Structure formats: structure tokens, C-alpha cells
Structure 1
Amino acid sequence: MGLAILFAVFSFKNMFDARYMIPVAGFLAGSMIESNSKSLETYYSGLKNHNAIYYYLLGNGATHGQAVNYFVKRALEKNMIPMLGKMAYILLGVTPMILWSMILSGTGVVDAVFMQILMLSAMLAAAPVSLLITLAVARAYSFDAYGQLKNMDKIA
């Protein structure tokens, strides 16, 4: 996602310049790490404490993916709600300082403003995408080959 942002703003001329790459990587990593940790906690605690719902859905003919989607949906909700609040903070508190520092480092005003707009939209888009990837990896460790929940005390 970060490379796409850098390519959209700067094409290939200065794409890997540290003054552009460091803010992009910092914004995206900072926005994803906190929300992913809260979402994973919701996912695992849901599987641990409400595993009867998972088995109930399986018993009533749901596939493994359909039964797990309930917990994935809850994790996505836990991911996006704080993300919107964080966006307001970043828009009002952090963005003007980053914009000013980019202009002082030699970036053109139009490039800096365009990059800030792209960064805000990338942060909002990258959080659920990274969570879905994280949950796909976590699903491999939560269930055995037969679709049975592993011992959640060892996982969470």
C-alpha cells in the first residue's frame, strides 16, 4: 500500500527517497499495529469464550468459513471504529506538522498536500486489509486440519 502511494505521488523519480518513504511507512505501520492488536484480541477472545456459537453454526450446516465469519466481522468492527477516531486526531493534530516538515525538506506544496490526502485514505484502507491478512494467518493456527478449535489457552 505504501509503495502504491509513493508511486502515485512521485512516480519513479524519488520514490525511495527517505524523506518520502519514512513518513509513509510510519503512518501506515502506526495505524495498522494498534488496530490489529485490538482486533486479534477480539477474534481470539470470541473464539475462546463463544466457541459454542462456532460449533452451533457448524452443526446447523454452515461451512467452516461461514462459522468463522461471525468472529471475523466482530474483529473488523473492532478495527474500524477506533480507526475513524484516530483519523480525526491525525487530520487535526499530526497532518499539519508532517505537511510543514515535508515542505521544509524540499517537497513541493502540491506534492505534499496530495501525499497527505493519499495517506489518510491509505491509512483507512490499509487497516482492514492488513487485518484480513492477519486473520487468515491466525485462522491457520486456531483450527486443526478437521476444523476443530485448538486449545485456546495455548494460542491466546
Structure 2
Amino acid sequence: MTEGLVVLGWPQVGLAFVLVLLVLLLMVLTRVGRKGELLWACARMTVQLALVGLVLGWVFAHPAWWITVGVLALMQVFAVATILGKFRGRLSSAMRRVVVVSSVAGTTAALAWFLLVVVGLSPWYDPRYVIPIAGMLIGNSMTGITLGLATLVDGMRDRRAEIEDALGLGATPRRAVDPLVRAAFESALMPTINSMLGTGIVFLPGMMTGQILAGVDPGTAIGYQIAILLGIVGAVGTTVFLALVLGARTYFDPRARLRPARTG
């Protein structure tokens, strides 16, 4: 116990794995597959978080703007790589560039506003604030872009004839794909909206729970949680909007005609 904080040692963390063993037993009894995947996921999660803990411990002890920027760049690279990996062979080079630009521009703008204006962070590169908050914004934006692009890419394939008919009747490319972009935008925002609807009644978010467990006053923790959820909405909405609007344009040539069907 340290200033009201119950510190978990590795033996106690190990006891938490008993719950995983319980799930494995239930999977055996019900003859459910993927037991190996569950074990691999638990092992990988544990190793990854242990390594991240070591890295963050060093970063927090040696705050410097170039280290913080380097960590943010690495997070962005992995986020973009994850998105592109979900659509391997299905995106054109122009669309891949759109993913990079929208992800970096949207999350950077939202992060800068949150840290510099909302929090008023000084120095601006303090890794204890920048890295955790950036992780939440980038992670949620990554999920949003993935969901939005999935709807857009599938829609452009399945409704190609409908879009061509609209163009033939005189519609602009923007007007022709507008219903599809709206549907994709709604699909991408829905998980974030649902999460906000359940926050405080159905569940307590991780950031707020962590702060309360660390001894932070609940009122302060709630203020931070409200702000970060609004920041996530801003980051997801901005990145997804850029990805969909700019991405939809890549399907048309300079003469406002649909480009030939492609898979990559």
C-alpha cells in the first residue's frame, strides 16, 4: 500500500491468470476451438505490456521533446500499418496515401488542441500526458478509419453500377457517392457514440478507473474522462471524415469518371 494505492506485484498479477484458466476449462467442456489463440493472446499481451512498461519508465525519467515526438511517430506508423493491413490488396496507392494523411493530420490536430488548449500542458512534450492521451486518440481513430473504409470500399464495389447510373444522369462524383460516404461515416462513429452512451452507468472507463485507483479525487478523474472522451470524438470524427471524403475522390479520374474496377 503506497499513499492509498494498492500496488500489484507479479505474484498477484499471476493470480489473475486463474480467470483465463477458467475460460479455457469452459472452452474444453463446450468443445469450443481457438484455445491456442486465447493462450497466445494472453501471452503476447503480457509480454507487450511488460516491455511497454519498461520503455515508458525510461521515457518518463528522461523527458525530451525529440523522444516524445519519436514515440508519437512510432505509434502513428503502427496505427497506419494496422489499417493498411486490414485492406491488403484492396486499396490503391492514392487511397493508401489518404489513410496516412488523414490519420496523422486528424489525430495530431485533436491531440494538439487537447493538450495545449484544454489541458494547457507545459512543457508541451511531457510524456506522462502526451503518450497515454495520444494512445487513446490514435487507437480509437484507427478503429474508426478501419470501419469507415470497410463500408466505403465494399460500397464502391457493390454499388458501382448505381454510382455509374447517377453519373450518367448528370450527378457530380460527390453527389453520386454522398449516400455511401454518409453511411460509412455513421458506421465509423457508432462505436464511439455507443461507448459514450454507456459511460458512467454501464461501465467506468479505464482512464477514470485508473486515476481513482491511484488516489485521484473522483471529481478530477471525471473531468479528465469527460474531456478525453470528447477528444476521442473529435479525433475519430476528423480522421474518418478526411479519410472518407479524400478517399472517395480516388475512385474518380480528373474527368469525373469512375476509374476502372481494381483490387489494389
Do they fold alike, i.e. is TM over 0.5?
Answer: yes
- The aligned counterpart of 1:117 is 226
Q: Report the more deviating stretch, 40-49 or 110-119.
A: 110-119
Question: 1:83 & 1:16 partners in 2: Cα distance?
Answer: 27
| Residues 208, 222 of structure 2: 8 Å contact kept | no
- Flag the 1:31–1:8 CA change in 2: closer, same or farther, 3 A: same
How many residues get paired? 152
Question: 1:93 & 1:115 partners in 2: Cα distance?
Answer: 11
- The aligned counterpart of 1:135 is 244
| Residues 207, 225 of structure 2: 8 Å contact kept | yes
- The aligned counterpart of 2:204 is 92
Q: 1:79 aligns with which of 188, 203, 207?
A: 188
- The aligned counterpart of 1:55 is 164
Question: 2:182 & 2:238 partners in 1: Cα distance?
Answer: 13
Q: TM-score, normalised by structure 2?
A: 0.50
List alignment gaps of at least 5 residues for structure 2.
1-109
- The aligned counterpart of 2:260 is 151
| Residues 32, 126 of structure 1: 8 Å contact kept | yes
| Residues 28, 126 of structure 1: 8 Å contact kept | yes
- Give the CA RMSD over aligned residues: 2.6
The structure whose RCO (Cα within 8 Å, separation 6+) is larger is 1
Q: CA deviation at 1:96?
A: 2.3
Q: Report the more deviating stretch, 62-71 or 92-101.
A: 92-101
- Flag the 1:29–1:89 CA change in 2: closer, same or farther, 3 A: farther
Q: CA deviation at 1:60?
A: 2.5
| Residues 99, 116 of structure 1: 8 Å contact kept | no
Question: 1:98 & 1:14 partners in 2: Cα distance?
Answer: 23
Give the aligned residue type for 1:37. T
Q: CA deviation at 1:148?
A: 2.3
Question: 2:169 & 2:258 partners in 1: Cα distance?
Answer: 17
% of aligned pairs identical? 24
Say whether 1:5 aligns with 2:114: yes
Q: CA deviation at 1:112?
A: 5.1
**Higher fraction of helix:** 1
SS at structure 1 position matched to 2:183: helix
- Flag the 1:112–1:15 CA change in 2: closer, same or farther, 3 A: farther
- Flag the 1:69–1:23 CA change in 2: closer, same or farther, 3 A: same
